[in-house]
Amino acid sequence: MKQDREGSQGEDGNVRTGNSPADIKQSILDNLYFSQARIPQTATLNDWYMALAYAVRDRMLDNWLTSNIHRGRKDLKIVSYLSAEFLMGPHLGNNLMSLGIREQAQQAVTELGLDMDALLQQEAEPGLGSGGLGRLAACYLDSLATLQVPAIGYGVRYEFGIFDQEIRDGWQVEKTDKWLNLGNPWEICRPEIVFTVKGGGHTEHYYDEQGRFRVRWAPNRVIKGVAYDTPVAGYCAGMTDILRLWKSEAVESFDFQAFNVGDYYKAVDEKVISETISKVLYPNDEPFIGKQLRLAQQYFFVSCSLQDMIRIHFLRGNNSLENFHESFAVQLNDTHPSLAVAELMRLFVDEHLMDWDLAWRVTQSTLSYTNHTLLPEALEKWPLHLFASVLPRHLEIIYEINRRFLDEVRRKYPDDHQRAVRVSLIDEHCEKFVRMANLACVGCHAINGVAVLHTMLLKRTILRDFFELYPERFHNVTNGVTPRRWIALSNPELARLITDSIGEGWIKNLEKELHKLESFARDAAFQKDWQKVKQKNKEALAAVIRERTGIVVDPLSLFDVQVKRFHEYKRQHLNIFHVITLYNRIRNNPGIDIEPRTVIFGGKAAPGYFMAKLIIKLINSVAEVVNSDPVVKGRLKVVFFPDFNVTNGQMIYPAADLSEQISLAGKEASGTGNMKFSMNGALTIGTLDGANVEIRKEVGDENFFLFGLTTEEVENVKSCGCDPCNTYESNTHLKELIDEIAAGAFSRGDRNLFMPLLDALLHHDEYLVFADYQSYVDCQDQVSDAFRDRQRWTTMSILNTARMGKFSSDRSIREYCDRIWQAKAVTDRREKR
């Protein structure tokens, strides 16, 4: 073995950090031996993966430590992104790319007789998020680091992330995600960065020696939060930001108390309860479900994070908290961390003896809030009794904020009692609740939506009163996604083609560079290359589909893809109704000349969301019938791709021809999958919802398949009280397919199985599936026609990619920095390569 670890040193002579293939190879061997206690002869694939990961992490440390110095600089504001979710995706491939050592590592690995793809696949995905909101946080960290803005992402180190999805008999089955089982080489535990967090109990009011009114919180639980840091390297940038996740643990002194009185088991119980806080991510999607443990989780990570920021603020040489907002801009990713308003006030006023008014000014200047939903049922509101039992001091603080705020409202609108009732931080309709969005709107200096339409609707609907009170606080920052992970990493062939044509500037400067592709849109040779790349990606996906589902699909068919969380408003059932419509056309006319399609679905349903799970079952049931019917002759295939996550997304987006963005107008805040598809050359069929509106504007109306009611029309249909039964009765194709489902055509004769879904549609159809059906089917016919003309389609595809510059998360982050955070990048740029 010794021999194995010797050998050549790289040009820079440092096997620990050198970037030559020889250095990396030696470093892998060293890490295998010294960190994994393994020799090559007996090492498992996971040992090799860990050894490579440690070798890569070693190479991130230089930048990490220099970046710490920047974070210590008083003149540079640190952006704190507070989020209950970070859906980072696998780190290895991305870090190799960011460090610019992909080829060297590939060579090192090959020389060791290993397969890089197998090593990459060994990494368990850190699924610490459930969907768009968590993935957005990850894209934003990538952009912050790439743009060299000092930043820390703060969240929870869930032991169990989002469940793994299996499909059994067509139904979703949830499996616990054990992402930490084989070890996580990317995180570094920082036992010295630890904070205590109180819970429950009561408050005591008293006057201190100086005669000041003080409040003491006497909790009945105390736990501690320990920091785990994951480096986030900017793409070929000197900056490495940090993802700091908190793990809950028992406070030792509490154990001892119990132990001393002989109650050993109580001490152990206490430990178990403490560790429960960061045990599991709640996989819910909207609507809001008020579980005590979730409130405790939110408070836990908010408190640890704010205490950590105060620590850093003093470490930077400040001696008061008056200028805390010059050290930190704190972004609240939805209301999940909105307790920060009350907690920062508590830390300032109770712990650091700041005067209330000053504390309030600093709190407001520090915090800003992003809203991610228009669904009223998704807004977080905690039952007052529950809130009081977990956070008694915070409730007092919220009452005081509310008292002052409502005074201000009444001064402004003296005769408008109803307005005060609506904006109050406490909902007093029957059972009382604490309204977290109201708390965030009052306590933050900036409030933003995530797409132009979404921000406009926020101002007109759920946050209207706050917009009228504080119009200057409202901003729009349209979401973006990182072109590093979502093009360069996941679609290497396309990345190469783009770079060969316009140079590599697009990777860091999508907005300025990518449009240069437009000049190739009609170039015959370039079109061929473009088609080849897509074809290869489709073949690769087809192979994976076969391996995971047993379904054989034709890579030459149109890949029509809808991947996202399952929710009725996203209308995956509208898509499957179109599939049934195509199937009926084939059955009614077996010789029909129809453009072959493979319709691919993917996504998880919240474990308790019956209707979403029933839609998954319907898709699989339709798939079973369509895929096995000989009359179809392979012209139509339906696939449910199980366990859609970041890793699988990286395979799926590059292989799509058509992107399904078909939510009911006014329901999807932005969408980010829509951007990933389009960047990878898929054309969109979509409604005027969320960021679709802006995507269409960028790519051009003629390169986007638009259908469906507009938000205004939706409002009209809703207010006229139209009966969905009428649409059903008057549309023969719709009636035919609904009747088939009802008759058990896709459920082996079982007429009851899908009744709950059909009943909901026939009697309410809240998301206007029936109303949009015909427009959708007509639009899909246009898609098929367009796909027949491959040259035209390819032009449209190239133009879609070329015009997506705006949707880089770098643009979003620049907007946050300029308009909301007033944060600057580190100026001494140390460009690598």
Q: Catalytic amino acids?
A: 372, 564-565, 570, 672, 676
String of DSSP letters for 644-688:
--HHHHHHHGGG-SEEEE-PPTTS-S--SHHHHHHHTTPEEEE-S
- Please say which residue, 443 or 690, places its beta carbon nearer to ligand F58: 690
Task: Considering the complex, state which of residue 495 and residue 669 has its C-beta at the smaller distance from ligand F58.
Answer: 669
Q: Which is nearer to ligand F58, 286 or 513 (CB)?
A: 286
CA–CA dist 448, 557 (Å, integer):
41
CB of 371 to ligand F58, least distance (A): 9
Residue 123 or 285: the one with the smaller Cβ distance to ligand F58 is 285
Region at 824 (left for phi over 0; alpha for psi -120 to 50; beta for the rest): beta
**Residue 138: CB minimum distance to ligand F58, A:** 11
Q: What is the DSSP string of 285-327?
A: -SSP---HHHHHHHHHHHHHHHHHHHHHHHHTT---STTHHHH
| Cα gap 776→770, rounded to integer Å | 10
Q: Contact with ligand F58 (CB under 6 A): which of 136, 145, 495, 521?
A: 136
In the bound state with ligand F58, the residue whose beta carbon lies nearer, of 669 and 799, is 669
For residue 450, state whether it binds ligand F58 (rule: CB under 6 A).
yes
Residue with tokens 């540079």: 76
For residue 603, state whether it binds ligand F58 (rule: CB under 6 A).
Answer: no
Stretch that binds ligand F58, among 126-134, 498-506, 649-657, 678-686 (CB under 6 A): 126-134
b/e string for 801-821 if b means 16 or more Cβ within 10 A?
bbbbbbbbbbbbbbbbbeebb
Calculate the alpha carbon distances from 669 to 460, 464, 476, 558, 799 in Å.
14, 16, 12, 28, 25
For 638-663, give one letter per residue: b (16+ CB within 10 A) or e: bbbbbbbbbbbbbbbbbbbbbbbbbb
Q: Which amino acid is at 717?
A: V
Compute the distance between CA of residue 724 and CA of residue 743 in angstroms, rounded to an integer: 19
Q: Which of 9, 106, 284, 775 binds ligand F58 (CB under 6 A)?
A: 284
What is the rounded distance in angstroms from the CA atom of residue 593 to the CA atom of residue 586?
9
* Residues 482-521, interacting with ligand F58 (CB under 6 A): none
- By CB under 6 A, the count of residues binding ligand F58 is 18
- 162, 280 Cβ separation under 8 angstroms: no
The piece of 128-136, 298-306, 516-524, 547-555 that touches ligand F58 (CB under 6 A) is: 128-136
Interactions with ligand F58, residue window 754-783 (CB under 6 A) = none
Task: Provide the minimum distance between the beta carbon of 134 and ligand F58 in the complex, in angstroms, as a whole number.
Answer: 6
Which residue number, 583 or 816, has a Cβ lying nearer to ligand F58?
816
Token look-up 């440390």 returns 61
Closest CA to 363 of 336, 349, 344: 344
Q: Is 660 in the site for ligand F58 (CB under 6 A)?
A: no
* Minimum distance of ligand F58 from residue 2's CB (angstroms): 51
Closest approach, Cβ 216 to ligand F58, in A, equals 33
Binding range to ligand F58, per CB under 6 A, among 143-151, 278-286, 387-395, 823-831: 278-286
Asked if 574 interacts with ligand F58 (CB under 6 A), we say no
Asked if 347 interacts with ligand F58 (CB under 6 A), we say no
Q: Which is nearer to ligand F58, 240 or 305 (CB)?
A: 305
The nearest distance, CB 480 to ligand F58, in angstroms, is: 10
Q: Rounded to an integer, what distance in angstroms lies between the CA atom of residue 393 and that of residue 648?
A: 44
Nearer to ligand F58, 100 or 287 (CB): 287
Residue 285 touching ligand F58 (CB under 6 A): yes
- CA distances, 497 to each of 41, 50, 96, 517 (Å): 40, 32, 20, 10
Q: Which one among 27, 31, 130, 645 touches ligand F58, defined by CB under 6 A?
A: 130
166 vs 607: CA distance, rounded Å: 12
What's the closest the beta carbon of residue 132 comes to ligand F58, in angstroms? Answer: 3
CB 596 within 8 A of CB 558: yes
Closer residue to ligand F58, CB minimum distance, 286 or 560: 286
Amino acid at 761: L
Question: Are residues 31 and 23 in contact, defined by beta-carbon separation less than 8 angstroms?
Answer: no
* Of 74-82, 283-291, 482-490, 534-542: span binding ligand F58 (CB under 6 A): 283-291
Residue 24 near ligand F58 by CB under 6 A: no
- Could you report how far apart the first and last alpha carbons of the chain are, in Å? 34
Residues 6 or more apart whose Cβ sits within 8 Å of residue 85:
128, 129, 130, 133, 134, 137, 155, 281, 333, 336
Residue 464-483 contact track with ligand F58, rule CB under 6 A, x = bound: ---------------x----
Q: Which of 599, 607, 643 is nearest to 623 (CA)?
A: 599
Residues 24, 215: Cα–Cα separation, whole Å: 57
- Reading the block at residue 711, the tokens are 């938000």
Measured from the CB atom, the residue of 139 and 619 that comes closer to ligand F58 is: 139
Residues forming beta bridges with residue 81, ordered by sequence position:
153, 331
Q: How far is the CB of 171 from ligand F58 (least distance, A)?
A: 22
The window from 130-138, 150-158, 176-184, 697-705 that contacts ligand F58 (CB under 6 A) reads: 130-138
Answer yes or no whether residue 35 interacts with ligand F58 by CB under 6 A. no
List binders of ligand F58 among 690-719 (CB under 6 A).
690
Q: Which of residues 50-69 bind ligand F58 (CB under 6 A)?
A: none
Other CB atoms within 10 Å distance of the CB of residue 349 = 20
The nearest distance, CB 87 to ligand F58, in angstroms, is 9
**Minimum distance between the CB of residue 660 and ligand F58, rounded to whole angstroms?**
14
Binding mask 348-387 for ligand F58 (x = CB under 6 A): ------------------------xx--------------
Q: Which is nearer to ligand F58, 47 or 85 (CB)?
A: 85
In the beta sheet, which residues pair with residue 215?
205
| Shortest Cβ 112–ligand F58 spacing (Å) | 40
**Site string (664-693) toward ligand F58, x via CB under 6 A:** ----xxxxx-----------------x---
Stretch that binds ligand F58, among 47-55, 124-132, 185-193, 464-472 (CB under 6 A): 124-132
Binding site for ligand F58 (CB under 6 A): 130-133, 136, 284-286, 372-373, 450, 479, 668-672, 690
